[in-house]
Amino acid sequence: MKILVIGQGGREHALVWKLAQSPLAEKIYCAPGNAGIADIAESVQIGNGLAELADWAKAENIALTVVGPEAPLAEGIVDTFRERGLKAFGPDKRAARLEASKDFAKQLMAKNGIPTAAYRTFVDADEAITYIKTRNAPVFVKANGLAAGKGVIPGRTLAQATAAVKTILVDRAFGEAGDSVVIEEELIGEEASFTVLTDGTHCVPFVSSQDHKMSHDGDTGKNTGGMGAYSPAPVITPELHDYVMERVVYPTLNGMADIGSTFKGVLYVGLMITDTGPKVLEFNCRFGDPEAQVLFPRLKSDLVPLLIACVDGTLAAYTDSGLQTPPTKKGVEWHAEAAAGVVMASGGYPDPYQTGKVITGLAEAAALEGVTVFHAGTKQNGEQVVTAGGRVLCVTAVGDRLKSAIEQAYRGVSAIHFADAHFRHDIGHRALG
């Protein structure tokens, strides 16, 4: 079959890499793709409109479209493809509100008894600041809409929280995504990423993972789209896994169905494991980035039939009833090895940065045992690959233990060079600790 992947980042490179291993994949296209994706799929430029993409997919007889990033899902790309009788993996526009609106997600959690932080939503900056003063406690200030993973600002002091509100609501740093803000209590604990595939009723849970959001070592600096990830995450015990399935995943899917918004695709749950149990920080409606870069190397089973089953509503064939972990009925299998990925970013990210820096050492890194270099912000410039984004690469390695996977990933990082490259040196520190 012909498969189309939408997107151009590290997650999409990982998707294409995994899909290309399927015997069902006759040809893979990626719109628009990047320099690394171009080695294994045909990059296509089809304009900016969803209708143009769908018309092209129809003309090319694309059997399955896999949507990588959240923005086209929020815009309704799945609806547009369905209108043309095309299979598209991901939630439709109404269901994608689970990520596109933090206020919508918080209301759904409150209605369905899903554990999460206390919150209030505001459109007026003065009212938001007054509320923060009455709390007299650390908060997080979040742009309500999509902000590429950067719209979450810690307000651990009154001055920080006030500045964050003004940045979002007054200075409009995130545009329309900041038309309103969600003010949440600060949760203390360890973060983890919980990923499931779903057809709206049944689920196939992925193995555990954890990413690193802050830009610098020791979880300092600014919030980013993710500076690295690893799998498995020891903080997700079997008992905690079952708790999240029972108290978070299924109530979320049932709650969405109850309001006529059946959720199909990837349900990504960002968790904070607190002293009083796990609480939901956020929902995403697509694979995490950089979590995908460490999950797909561990997935032994063919990804294509799983994605099709989500679209068709037939995922029950791959999962037992109840809260069972893989392997399941049809043998969704996982490699025993651990995986770790280190993001190499442009100097200055997530603040303004320069692009066009020549990247060397890619072949040398990829030649290392167990290492795969996933491209994110790259493009081909003649014979050279150059930087073209904030997060440039995710150097991923697998190993028999997490420690060896992390060490090998950093060997890969050491082989790669571009001017002003920035990366964290402590990916996986919680698990190793």
Give, for all 433 residues of the chain, the pLDDT tens digit: 999 999 999 999 999 999 999 999 999 999 999 999 999 999 999 877 899 999 999 999 999 999 999 999 999 999 999 999 999 999 999 999 999 999 999 999 999 999 999 999 999 999 999 999 999 899 999 999 998 777 899 999 999 999 999 999 999 999 999 999 999 999 999 999 999 999 999 999 999 999 999 999 999 998 899 999 999 999 999 999 999 999 999 999 999 999 999 999 999 999 999 999 999 999 999 999 999 999 999 999 999 999 999 999 999 988 754 334 444 456 689 999 999 999 999 999 999 999 999 999 999 999 999 999 999 999 999 999 999 999 999 999 999 999 999 999 999 999 999 999 999 999 999 999 8
Q: Is the peptide bond before 138 cis (omega within 30 degrees of 0)?
A: no
Q: What phi, psi does 177 have (nearest 5°)?
A: -60, -25
User: What 3-state class would DSSP assign to 121?
Assistant: strand
CA distances from 144 to 22, 114, 138, 168 (A): 38, 19, 19, 10
In the chain, the amino acid numbered 96 is: A
How far is the first Cα of the chain from the last one, in angstroms, to the nearest whole number? 45
Q: Is the peptide bond before 327 cis (omega within 30 degrees of 0)?
A: yes
List, in sequence order, every residue forming a beta bridge with 393; answer none if it has no partner: 344, 375
The pTM for the full model equals 0.93
CA separation for the pair 28, 140 (Å, rounded): 41
The segment(s) of the chain belonging to CATH 3.40.50.20 are 2-90
The segment(s) of the chain belonging to CATH 3.30.1490.20 are 124-179
Domain 2-90 -> CATH class: alpha beta
Q: What phi, psi does 352 have (nearest 5°)?
A: -55, 145
In the chain, the amino acid numbered 29 is: Y
Does the domain made of 190-318 have the CATH classification 3.30.470.20?
yes
Nearest-5° Cα angle at 122, 118 to 126:
115
Does the domain made of 338-432 have the CATH classification 3.90.600.10?
yes
Instruction: Please enumerate in sequence order all residues whose Cβ is within 8 A of that of 24, keeping only pairs 6 or more positions apart, or say none.
Output: 1, 302, 304, 305
| CB distance 377 to 343 below 8 Å | no
Among 205, 267, 212, 214, CA closest to 236: 205
CATH number of 124-179: 3.30.1490.20
The segment(s) of the chain belonging to CATH 3.90.600.10 are 338-432
Among 209, 130, 196, CA closest to 162: 130
Stated as kind and residue range, the H or E segment containing 205 is strand 203-205
